[in-house]
Amino acid sequence: MVLEYRQLTREALPYSNCAANHAANDDDMNDSRPTTLAALQAAGYESRSVKDELRANLVRKLQSGEALFPGVQGYDDSVVPQIVNAILARHDFILLGLRGQAKSRILRQLVEFLDDEIPILAGSEVNDDPFAPISKYGRQLVEERGGSAPIEWIGRDRRYVEKLATPDVTIADMIGDVDPIKAARGGHILADELTIHYGLLPRANRGIFAINELPDLAGKIQVGLFNILQEGDVQVKGYPIRLALDVLMVFTANPEDYTARGKIITPLKDRIGAEIRTHYPADLEIGIDITRQEAWTARRGTCVEVPDFVEETVERVAFLARNDKRVDQRSGVSQRMPITLLETVVSNAERRALRHRESVAVPRIADMYAALPAVTGKMELEYEGELHGADKIARELIQQSCSQTFDVRAGGADVEDIVAYFETGGALQVGEDAAAGACVQGFETVPGLLELVENVGFAPSAAGDGTRAAACELVLEALVAQKRISRTSSGYVRAPHQGPPKGKGYQGFDPGGGLKL
């Protein structure tokens, strides 16, 4: 049956999209859409491939200036243009990147480039196009019922299929297998196409099929994907079945697995149109924005105020870890580290505020040490790192982060009076669970400390005790990192005395007593 048809626009299918009356008019919406093949033809619907559909909607978004990937930051000048080029070229593509680089989020947002709804033959497992069905079920339905063949409308979310590649994934999972129950109930022989239970890939027909961690797929599964991309041929239990699938295939992978270990077959790699590399935030400000966007800091029932210098210090921990030789850079340091670290820091501040019945929970530097599990669990260590231990490395990263934040914001500030206080025997006991007011009282005993945090803008005169306490802790932690003072489990004391360096005039212990043995 040959049908002439044109593109069916929203105006050709008059139904309301308004959220206010969506539920009330749901039945009217369903009634207004074509429900049979003849009605769909009369309405002028025009089929198009999923890649043409994605391209057309992308062009519309580009022309209107809409955000292409809302919530994905730091990729506007690198990753996003390459994805746009791949879609405009109608290419399948793969995102190569380390963990925590928004690869899966980007793939899932591709759904927004699909039409709101498309028609399929009712009851089809593979989203058969009413005008060009690919399954035997769809072809028989059109042949038997003609223009009265029933039509069903599916939303864009049902057209996205995602699978995490694992070594135990089988051909049956991805492509399909013979279903003996179908054969028995329908009275079909096992070689009949109607006995097939379709896998994930055919069910993604006329949609997007995403595979995360592609190299983890077994070689024979990759061969099956290659055949689909190249020929559209599928073999189930030795029976050749021609399925002209209309699908955009997208993948994610770790660069090391993809390029170095040879876990992906060359013919499949050759058929993937675009190889796009993702990356971690290049600028600290972008990283802070991402963490602020993703971290859950607005706690119900508790007022939380996170000082900007605490946000910066948290983010710097991840940036420092990504450049630390003791951390395995091939594994990467996920952007989830600063996100979970900030959430845990806020939780510790919330716990303290509830205990002391404070009206506002303000995270302090001490809360970062209480959140060490959020750091150590996000790092894979090299051999040297294993010798030092994850806990020690995490503490050093926090101290270095405090030092960098202080240097950037208050570099050159006079801290000699503060250091002199500890050098002359002064000590300061500040517990991480101490109330903000008690901490400020303790910091008042250190000459020039509160004046310093006010002068450099950490804690203006109108700031509350929580912010002032957090600012003072940042200054002291920076001095600890610079070895000007020392930090103990109970507070801050003078730095340990450094003996004279070895060299000229050095009087060290000579085990030989000066004798040449």
Residues 246 and 291 in one domain: no
Strands 239-242 and 428-429: unpaired
Length of the chain, in residues: 517
Q: Which CATH number does the domain housing residue 162 bear?
A: 3.40.50.300
Range of the domain at 441: 284-494
CA distances from 46 to 20, 58, 70 (A): 30, 18, 30
Whether 245 and 339 map to the same domain: the answer is no
CA-atom Rg of the chain in angstroms: 32
> Same domain, yes or no, for 324 and 381?
yes
- Residues 344 and 478 both lie in one domain: yes
Note the pLDDT of residue 173: 84
Q: Are residues 291 and 417 in the same domain?
A: yes
The predicted-structure confidence for 474-506, as pLDDT tens digits, reads as follows: 999 999 999 999 988 778 999 886 655 555 444
| Amino acid type, 270 | D
* Pairing between β-strand 117-121 and β-strand 491-494 as defined by DSSP bridges: unpaired
- pLDDT reported for residue 169: 86
Report how many domains make up the chain: 2
| Residue 142 pLDDT greater than 70, yes or no | yes
Same domain, yes or no: 272 and 144: yes
Distance between CA atoms of residues 235 and 110, nearest Å: 29
Sequential DSSP letters for 64-105: HT--SSTT--S-TTTHHHHHHHHHHTT--EEEE--TTSSHHH
Q: Is the pLDDT of residue 264 over 70?
A: yes
Element (H or E) spanning 464, and its range?
Answer: none
Amino acid letter at 183? A
pLDDT more than 90, % of the chain: 62
Of 261, 277, 293, which residue is a domain's last? 277
Q: Which amino acid is at 185?
A: R
- 237 pLDDT band, cuts 50/70/90, is low
Q: What is the pLDDT of residues 179-215, one digit of tens each?
A: 656 655 666 655 666 667 788 888 899 999 999 999 8
Asked whether the predicted pLDDT for residue 257 surpasses 70, the reply is no
Convert the pLDDT of each residue in 282-309 to its tens digit.
999 999 999 999 999 999 989 999 999 9
Q: Examine residue 331 and state whether it is found in any structural domain, yes or no.
A: yes
Q: What per-residue confidence (pLDDT) applies to 26?
A: 47
Residue 257 and residue 318 share a domain: no
Per residue in 377-394, pLDDT tens? 899 999 988 999 999 999
Q: Would you say residue 15 lies in a domain? A: no
In this structure, the answer to whether residues 128 and 216 fall within a common structural domain is: yes
* Domain edge (last residue) among 277, 294, 311: 277
Query: Token pair of 381, please?
Result: 């260590």
DSSP conformation class of 129: B
SS3 call for 360: strand
> Is 353 domain-assigned?
yes
Whether 110 maps to a domain, the answer reads: yes
Write out the two tokens for 495. 């730095």
Pair 72, 201 in one domain: yes
Q: Looking at the domain assignment, is residue 25 inside a domain?
A: no
Integer Cα distance of 418 and 410 in angstroms: 15
End-of-domain residue from the set 250, 277, 304: 277
**pTM here?**
0.83
Q: What is the pLDDT of residues 451-480, one digit of tens each?
A: 999 999 999 988 999 999 999 999 999 999
* Residues β-bridged to residue 119: 153
- Both 338 and 486 in one domain: the answer is yes
Rounded CA separation 129/41 (Å) = 12
223: pLDDT strictly greater than 50: yes
* Per-residue confidence (pLDDT) for residue 129, from 0 to 100: 93
Q: Is residue 112 domain-shared with residue 211, that is, in the same domain?
A: yes
Domain match, 166 and 205 both: yes
Q: Residue 73: inside a domain, yes or no? A: yes
Query: Residue 319: which region, alpha, beta or left (left: phi > 0; alpha: psi -120 to 50)?
Result: alpha
Question: Can you tell me the distance from the alpha carbon of 184 to that of 175, in angstroms, rounded to the nearest whole number?
Answer: 21
Q: What SS3 class is residue 381? A: strand
Spatial neighbors of 483 by CB under 8 A, at least 6 apart, are 495
CA 483-485-491 angle, to 5 degrees, is 130
Residue bearing tokens 């399948």: 92
The C-alpha atoms of residue 220 and residue 172 are separated, in whole angstroms, by 12
Cα separation, 84 vs 92, in Å, equals 12
Residue 380 lies in a domain: yes
List of residues 6+ apart from 1 with CB closer than 8 A? 142, 146
327, 332, 335, 339: CA torsion to nearest 10: -40
Per-residue pLDDT at 13: 38
301 occurs within a structural domain? yes
Other CB atoms within a 10 A radius of the CB of residue 380 amount to 15
State yes or no: pLDDT of 97 exceeds 90: yes
